[in-house]
C-alpha cells in the first residue's frame, strides 16, 4: 500500500461498529436466555474469532444484515470438539476464559503467534483465586487449559494492572460464582461490560467498585452498536494535522472512558466538537466534528500516569500528531504497550526514526521533539493493525511516498479503512 501527501481531508465518515462493545455484546448475548438481535456489529478478524469460539460452544449464530445470537444461559454451553482458536484477539481469549472457568467441561483455548506471546497471568491469578482450574505455559502464556469445576467462589479483587479485559474476565467468572464478587479499580478503564450488564457500580476512597451478584438472569435484547471511537481516532488525528480539513464522524461512541485521546488532542490545540449526543443501549453516542485551519499550530505535551489506560490504543496515532506538533512529545508509564499485538513502543520508535524523527526509547515509553518534516519510507507494521493505520496517517503529511508493508492487517479491526481513507482524501 502506497500513501502520498494529502492536500486536505473532507467528508462524512461512518466508522465500523465498536470492536470492544461488539465482543462484549456477543458474549453477553450468548449468556442470555433467548434470541438477541444486534445491529452494526463489527465483522472483523478479531470479532469473527469470538463468534467462531461461541459457535464451537454450541451457540446458535446467524449473520445477515443484522446479527442474531441465541443465548444458552450462563452454564449451558456445550463442550467444544477441539481447541478454541482466538486468532489475534486478546479480548476473545481473556473474556472467554472467564466464562469457560465456570463450566462443567474441560476446554483449551489458544491463538496465533502474536497472541501466544501475550501475558495471561493477569487473568489466571484472579481466576485461580475464584477456584478455577486453569493452566498456561511456563511463561504464563496461551494455550490455556481450563478444567471443569462444580462452582466458583466469589472474591474481592483489586486490579493490579488497569485492564478492561481483566475486569471483564472476572465479571464473567463472577456470574458463575457463589456469592457476590467485587472488583476494585484504582484507575478507571473502559466500562462497557458493567454498563451492558447493568451492574451496581459505586465509588469509595477514589476507587471504583463493581459488584457482580450470582444468578443474574440476562435477558435477550436488541442492541445497536455505536461506531468505534478508537477506529475513528485515525481520521480525527488526520483532520487535525492536515491543513484545511473538515470531517464529520457519525454515530460514534462517546463513552467518557474512550474519549481520552480527544481530550489530549484538544489540549494540543485541535478543534474538535461533539454534536447530536444521545444515549443508545446504555452508551453515549454522537457525532464528532473536526476542523483545521490554513496553519497547524498544535503544541506537544506529556502522556503519563492515570491517563494512559484510557488512551493506550490511540498512542500510536497520537505519536503521529506529536511529530507534527511543536515541542516535546513524551509518553511514560505505558509499559503495557509492549504487550499488544506487537511491541508498539518498538514499532513507533523504529518507524518514526525511519521517517526522520530523532526519538529516545524508554522501557515504558518514548520522547521526541516534534515539528519536524516527515519523510516517506517503508513502514514496518509487525502485523499490527494500529501501527499500519497510524503510519498511513503519517504518510499523509510526509514528503515523498510512504509504503505500508502489510496493509492487510487492518482487517483485525477496520476492514474498510483504506476505502474510507480514499473517499475523504483531496
Taking the model in full, what pTM does it have? 0.94
CA–CA separation, 356 and 373 (whole Å): 8
Q: What pLDDT is stored for residue 348 in this prediction?
A: 98
Known catalytic residue: 205?
A: no
* pLDDT per residue as tens digits for the range 162-211: 999 999 999 999 999 999 999 999 999 999 999 999 999 999 999 999 99
Please name which of 305, 255, 324 lies closest in space to residue 285, comparing C-alpha atoms: 255
Encode pLDDT of 23-43 as tens digits. 999 999 999 999 999 999 999
Map out the domains of the chain with their CATH numbers: 2-17+226-424 (3.65.10.10), 19-223 (3.65.10.10)
Radius of gyration (C-alpha) of the chain in whole angstroms:
21
Q: Which of 384, 374, 377 is nearest to 406 (CA)?
A: 384
d(CA 132, CA 125): 10
CA-to-CA dists, residue 306 to 168, 193, 385, angstroms: 19, 20, 25
Distance CA 66, CA 121 (A): 36
Residue indicated by cell numbers 466464562: 99
In the chain, which stretches have pLDDT less than 50?
none
Active-site residue, from 18, 46, 287, 313: 313
81: nearest Cα among 104, 108, 99, 100 = 108
What is the structure's pLDDT at 191?
96
| pLDDT at position 426 | 79
Nearest to 118 by CA among 142, 86, 85: 142
Q: Residue 313: what pLDDT?
A: 95
In the prediction, which pLDDT does 280 show? 85
Which residue blocks in 63-120 are alpha helix, DSSP H? 90-100
Is-contact 359 378, C-beta < 8 A? Answer: no
pLDDT tens profile 132-173: 999 999 999 999 999 999 999 999 999 999 999 999 999 999
Distance set, CA 304 to CA 133, 236, 406 (Å): 36, 21, 30
Instruction: Give CA–CA dist 157/170, Å, rounded.
Output: 9
Give residue 189's pLDDT. 94
Residues 6+ apart with CB under 8 A from 259: 229
CB-CB contact of 12 with 414 (8 Å): no
Q: Are strands 144-147 and 107-110 parallel, antiparallel or unpaired?
A: antiparallel
- The Cα–Cα gap between 353 and 355 comes to 5
- Per-residue pLDDT, 360: 98
What is residue 282's predicted lDDT score, i.e. its pLDDT? 84
What string of DSSP letters covers 132-154?
-EEE--TTS-S-EEEE--S-EEP
Name the maximum alpha-carbon separation found in the chain. 65
Amino acid at each position: 500500500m502506497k500513501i502520498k501527501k494529502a492536500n486536505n481531508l473532507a467528508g462524512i465518515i461512518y466508522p465500523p461498529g465498536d470492536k470492544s462493545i461488539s465482543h462484549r455484546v456477543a458474549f453477553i448475548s450468548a449468556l442470555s436466555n433467548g434470541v438477541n438481535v444486534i445491529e452494526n456489529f463489527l465483522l472483523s478478524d478479531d470479532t469473527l474469532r469470538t463468534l467462531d469460539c461461541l459457535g464451537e460452544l454450541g451457540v446458535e449464530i446467524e449473520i445477515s444484515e443484522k446479527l442474531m445470537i441465541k443465548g444458552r444461559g450462563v452454564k449451558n454451553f456445550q463442550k467444544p470438539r477441539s481447541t478454541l482458536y482466538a486468532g489475534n484477539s486478546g479480548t476473545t481469549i481473556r473474556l472467554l476464559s472467564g466464562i469457560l472457568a465456570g463450566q462443567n467441561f474441560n476446554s483449551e483455548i489458544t491463538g496465533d503467534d502474536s497472541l501466544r506471546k501475550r501475558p495471561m497471568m493477569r487473568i489466571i491469578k484472579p481466576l485461580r483465586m475464584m477456584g478455577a482450574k486453569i493452566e498456561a505455559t511456563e511463561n504464563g502464556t496461551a494455550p490455556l487449559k481450563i478444567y471443569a469445576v462444580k462452582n466458583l467462589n466469589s472474591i474481592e479483587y483489586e486490579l493490579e494492572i488497569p485492564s478492561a479485559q481483566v475486569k471483564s474476565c472476572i465479571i464473567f467468572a463472577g456470574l458463575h460464582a457463589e456469592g457476590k464478587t467485587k472488583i476494585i479499580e484504582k484507575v478507571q478503564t473502559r466500562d462497557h461490560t458493567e454498563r451492558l450488564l447493568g451492574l451496581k457500580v459505586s465509588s469509595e476512597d477514589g476507587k471504583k467498585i463493581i459488584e457482580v451478584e450470582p444468578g443474574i438472569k440476562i435477558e435477550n435484547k436488541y442492541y445497536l452498536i455505536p461506531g468505534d471511537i478508537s477506529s475513528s481516532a485515525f481520521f480525527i488525528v488526520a483532520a487535525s494535522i492536515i491543513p484545511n480539513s473538515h470531517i464529520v464522524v457519525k454515530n460514534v461512541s462517546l463513552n467518557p472512558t474512550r474519549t481520552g485521546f480527544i481530550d489530549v488532542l484538544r489540549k494540543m490545540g485541535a478543534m474538535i466538537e461533539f454534536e447530536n449526543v444521545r444515549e443508545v443501549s446504555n452508551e453515549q453516542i454522537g457525532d464528532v466534528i473536526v476542523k483545521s485551519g490554513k496553519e497547524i499550530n498544535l503544541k506537544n505535551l506529556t502522556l503519563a500516569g492515570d491517563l494512559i489506560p484510557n488512551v493506550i490504543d490511540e498512542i500510536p496515532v497520537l505519536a503521529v500528531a506529536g511529530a507534527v506538533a511543536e515541542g516535546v512529545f513524551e509518553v511514560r508509564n505505558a509499559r503495557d504497550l509492549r504487550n499488544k499485538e506487537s511491541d508498539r513502543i518498538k514499532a513507533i520508535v523504529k518507524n518514526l526514526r525511519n521517517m526522520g524523527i530523532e526519538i529516545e526509547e524508554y522501557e515504558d515509553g518514548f520522547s521526541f521533539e516534534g515539528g519536524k518534516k516527515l519523510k516517506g519510507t517503508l513502514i514496518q507494521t509487525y502485523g499490527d493493525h494500529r501501527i499500519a493505520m497510524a503510519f498511513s496517517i503519517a504518510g499523509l503529511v510526509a514528503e515523498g511516498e510512504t509504503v505500508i508493508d502489510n496493509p492487510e492487517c487492518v482487517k483485525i479491526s477496520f476492514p474498510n479503512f483504506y476505502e474510507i481513507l480514499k473517499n475523504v482524501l483531496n
